[in-house]
Amino acid sequence: MRRPRSLTPLFFLLPALALMVPFVIYPVFKTIYLSFFLDGKFVGLENYKNVLLSSDIINLDRFPTKSPPWGALIHNIVWIAIHLPATVFLGLGIALLLRREEVKGSSIVKSIIFLGMVIPMIVGGLIIRFLFEEGAGVIPAIFRVLGIERLAITWTAYPETALFAAILGSIWIWTGFSMLMYSAGLASIPKDYYEAALIDGANRFQIFKNVTWPLLKPITVVVVAMTLLWDLKIFDVVYVATGGGPGGASMVLALQMWDYFARALNYNYAAVVAVLLTALTLIPALWLIRRRE
């Protein structure tokens, strides 16, 4: 005969469930429910159609021939296309350059780069705003010294440059994570592998290609997946640095969801964007889980 199962584990789950049900599970189902209704009436996929066809999300009339706004979804895609490879390769490059203990000041350089991950994202957004401020920021000053006057401006004030100011500033914020992950990965590679490669006559590029890079692939999977998740749900940095402007030129999905909810008071459209954003973030999350398995 089977022994009766003990109900004791369920009692330990009750405190967690008591918090998860009202604050996590119920809001998720309520959001999905709202995305299919409008003015209290069930409209099916009509809300999804209206949101996806609106210029707030995808503006094909301006993309790619004209300057932003291109729509929040396209802005997120552009953000990923620039931010993801930049942070991955910068983090890897810095980790490779500073992996030796004899490199003078390596710990100081790493601390400065990792500072972007330590400070609150709100503060990071303020720093980005001042970095690209004409007369006060270092970026316009550099372009003025180089004689490129059209870029010696307040980047966050113009549609042509606002989105790219937020993206370039966020590279500094997130590169510290990439560098830290790759530094840990490099430290875990046995030195015997490098010594064997040198004995076989391999040069530095061959060692990196055949030894370092293959052993860092698990780290790269984590870095890419986490960066994708961060790029898709980016909100606070953009909210503080540009506010999504000017004229929606730097609007992203998370900020567009908040705009529908808090400004337009259109809870149904906000729910649609929330569901779409959740679906998009599940793609890299599931990919990471499968790769880890």
Per-residue pLDDT band for 74 (boundaries 50, 70, 90) equals very high
What residue type is 223 in one-letter code? V
Q: Assess if residue 19 is contained within a domain.
A: no
Residue 70 DSSP label: -
163 touches 177 (CB < 8 A): no
59 and 71 in contact (C-beta within 8 Å)? Answer: yes
Rounded alpha-carbon distances, angstroms, from residue 29 to 18, 49, 176, 229, 262: 16, 20, 36, 22, 20
Give the count of domains, the chain: 1
Q: Is residue 10 part of a domain?
A: no
Residue 255's CB is within 10 A of a number of other CB atoms, namely 23
Residues 6+ apart with CB under 8 A from 143: 149, 151, 152
- Residue 106: pLDDT band by 50, 70, 90 thresholds? confident
Average pLDDT over residues 239-257: 91
Q: What is the widest separation between alpha-carbon atoms in the chain?
A: 86
pLDDT of residue 4: 58
Q: What is the pLDDT at residue 102?
A: 54
**Do the domain assignments include residue 3?**
no
pLDDT at 166: 93
Asked if residue 231 belongs to a domain, the reply is: yes
| pLDDT greater than 70 at residue 101 | no
- 11 part of a folded domain: no
Give the pLDDT confidence score for residue 135 in this predicted structure: 83
Task: Name the nearest CA neighbour of 223 among 91, 114, 121, 117.
Answer: 91
Q: Are 159 and 67 in contact (CB under 8 A)?
A: yes
Q: Which domain holds residue 101?
A: 30-292
Q: How far is CA 99 from the centre of its chain?
A: 26
| pLDDT value, residue 272 | 94
Instruction: Enumerate residues 6+ apart whose C-beta is below 8 A from 1.
Output: none
Which residue, chain included where needed, has tokens 């209704």? 37
Distance of CA 189 to the CA centre of its chain: 28
pLDDT-based confidence at residue 2 (cuts at 50, 70, 90): low
Q: What is the CATH number of the domain that holds 248?
A: 1.10.3720.10
Q: Report how far apart, in Å, the C-alpha atoms of 187 and of each of 89, 101, 190 are.
A: 18, 11, 8
End-to-end Cα, the chain, rounded Å: 36
For all residues of the chain together, what is the average pLDDT?
87
Confidence of residue 292 (pLDDT cuts 50, 70, 90): low
Residue among 179, 55, 208, 51 nearest 109 (CA): 179
Joined together, the tokens standing for residue 125 give 């957004």
Domain annotation covers residue 21 = no
Residue percentage of the chain with pLDDT more than 70: 96
Is residue 125 included in any domain, yes or no?
Answer: yes
pLDDT higher than threshold 90 for residue 118: no
In a domain, 285, yes or no: yes
Looking at residues 137-150, what average pLDDT do you find? 89
